[in-house]
Each structure stands twice: as C-alpha cells, then as structure tokens.
C-alpha cells in the first residue's frame, strides 16, 4: 500500500532536522523545469505562480540560487503546511519513520514524486500550473508518477489537483479518503479540517504500522469511519464532536 499526499506551498530548508538520504528519482526532469522557469521574466513567473509581487520576487531569488544536489533537506521536513504539521514527523518513532519512508509518497509539480527523506530545495510550482513552453504539468509528467508507485494499492490522501496526476492511470487500484461532516444527509468537506486530518491519519498509519486497507477503517482521531457513506474506492470518515477543530 502506498499513500499519496499533496505537498504544501510553504516550505523551509530544514537544516536542523534529519539528514536527507536520496536524490529525487526524476531529478533530470526537475532540471528541465528549473531551466525553463529561469528563462522567464517576472511577469511570466507571476502568471505561472499566481501569487503576490513580494512572493514572486522571493521565489525568483530561490530560482537563481537553487542547487538541486546540495544544501538540501528531507522533503517531509521541508513542507510546513497543515497536513505536515499534523503529521508531526519529528515526533514519530524510528518504526514510524521507517513506515513513512516505505509507504508515503509526496506528489510535486516540480519534483514529480518524492519519498519522505528525498533531499529537496524550496520551490514554488503547483501541479495545475501552465508553463509557456512545457504547457500542462499533467502532460509533462504523464504516467511516470503512477509507474513509479508500482502495482501497490494507492491510498489517496492528496487533493484533487495532485491525485489527478496519478489516479487516471490507476484503474481500480486506489482508495480515496474523504474527511467530511454530515448535515441534512449531505457530506460537507472543509478544506482546512481535511488537511489537518490527512496529517493525523498519516501519523496514525505510521505509528500503527498499517499495511492493509481494511485496517485504515480503524482510524478515529477526530473522525470515525462511516460504512454507510463509503464504498470500495471511497472511505468516508465523519467528523466527531470534540474532534479536530
């Protein structure tokens, strides 16, 4: 079983955490993207990144100084969004970290796919970005990311933006996790709570050495599995009162 997760926009260079182990598997493709991004002016990059002028300038400085093989930090410690905060990799046991490295795969517009301890540099490039030369990143990566995962069942904890880079090639070989609230018989998903719950689930999966999809249903940190709302390809977890908030 492989768990796929979206990256976070906010990143740091985590020099004081664990050491990185490997370089990303698609580093040559990242080099091509880096060269292309460096060829664009500020206006073009703003169109690609869709962010403020301040962030454009900050990320242009990152592009200029980026070294894809040195001064790196492990991916799982480099992303600092809500899911990664609630995953709390620094609090995992050695066994939990080993599970993470074996089972978690982080999807990335720039790196393609990452193991938790792959060494990366801070970047900005969302999967849905359109590049003037390359065009769609979904087309750029094609089925590479799915093929890298192999034949393992995919437990999808990624947002649609990122899961769309993998699931179209997966056939029936996946289960999507949905975190929701139920009101008037309808499922309502709240983005912030879902991000937090995804991180909580990854932590729980790792610490409990979960290997079978059936065992995923036992997760009950703030949410509880709903058999009524689930099917073979979608596991729905409903928010419990007093849970994550």
Q: Per residue in 70-89, pLDDT tens?
A: 999 999 999 999 999 999 99
Within-domain flag for 131: yes
3-state class of 70 per DSSP? coil
Question: Taken in order 147, 153, 155, 160, is the CA torsion positive or negative?
Answer: positive
For residue 196, the enclosing domain spans 2-239
Is 244 part of any domain?
no
Q: What are phi and psi of 112, to 5 degrees?
A: 85, -80
Cα separation, 191 vs 144, in Å, equals: 28
- Tell how far CA 118 is from the center of its chain: 13
245 domain-assigned: no
Q: Is 46 left (phi over 0), alpha (psi -120 to 50) or beta?
A: alpha
Phi, psi of 217 (to 5 degrees): -65, -15
pLDDT in tens, 89-137: 999 999 999 999 999 999 999 999 999 999 999 999 999 999 999 999 9
Q: How confident is the model over 20-46, as pLDDT tens digits? A: 999 999 999 999 999 999 999 999 999
pLDDT for 241 equals 66
Confidence band of 142 (pLDDT split at 50, 70, 90): very high
- Decide: residue 188, CB within 10 A, 0-12 exposed, 13-18 middle, 19+ buried: exposed
Rounded to an integer, what distance in angstroms lies between the CA atom of residue 117 and that of residue 73?
A: 8
144, 129 Cβ separation under 8 angstroms: no
Domain count, the chain: 1
Angstrom distance (rounded) from CA 55 to CA 205: 35
For the whole model, what pTM was predicted? 0.95
Per DSSP, 19 falls in state P
Q: Give the total residue count for the chain.
A: 245
């Amino acid at each position: 079983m492989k768990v796929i997760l979206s990256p976070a926009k906010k990143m740091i260079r985590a020099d004081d955490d664990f050491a990185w182990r490997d370089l990303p598997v698609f580093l040559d493709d990242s080099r091509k993207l880096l060269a292309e991004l460096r060829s664009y002016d500020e206006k073009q990059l703003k169109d690609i990144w869709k962010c403020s002028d301040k962030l454009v300038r900050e990320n242009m400085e990152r592009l200029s100084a980026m070294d894809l093989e040195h001064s790196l930090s492990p991916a799982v410690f480099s992303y600092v969004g809500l899911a990664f905060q609630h995953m709390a990799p620094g609090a995992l046991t050695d066994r939990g970290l080993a599970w993470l490295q074996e089972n978690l795969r982080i999807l990335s517009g720039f790196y393609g796919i990452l193991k938790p301890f792959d060494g990366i540099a801070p970047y900005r490039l969302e999967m849905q970005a359109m590049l003037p030369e390359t065009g769609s990143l979904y087309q750029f990566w094609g089925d590479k990311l799915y093929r890298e995962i192999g034949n393992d069942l995919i437990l999808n904890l990624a947002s649609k933006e990122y899961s769309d880079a993998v699931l179209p090639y997966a056939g029936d070989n996946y289960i999507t996790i949905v975190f929701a609230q139920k009101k008037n018989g309808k499922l309502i998903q709240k983005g912030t709570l879902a991000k937090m719950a995804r991180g909580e689930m990854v932590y729980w999966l790792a610490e409990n050495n979960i290997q079978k999809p059936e065992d995923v249903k036992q997760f009950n940190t703030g949410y509880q599995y709903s058999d009524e709302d689930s099917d073979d390809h979608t596991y729905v977890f409903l928010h419990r009162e007093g849970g994550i908030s």
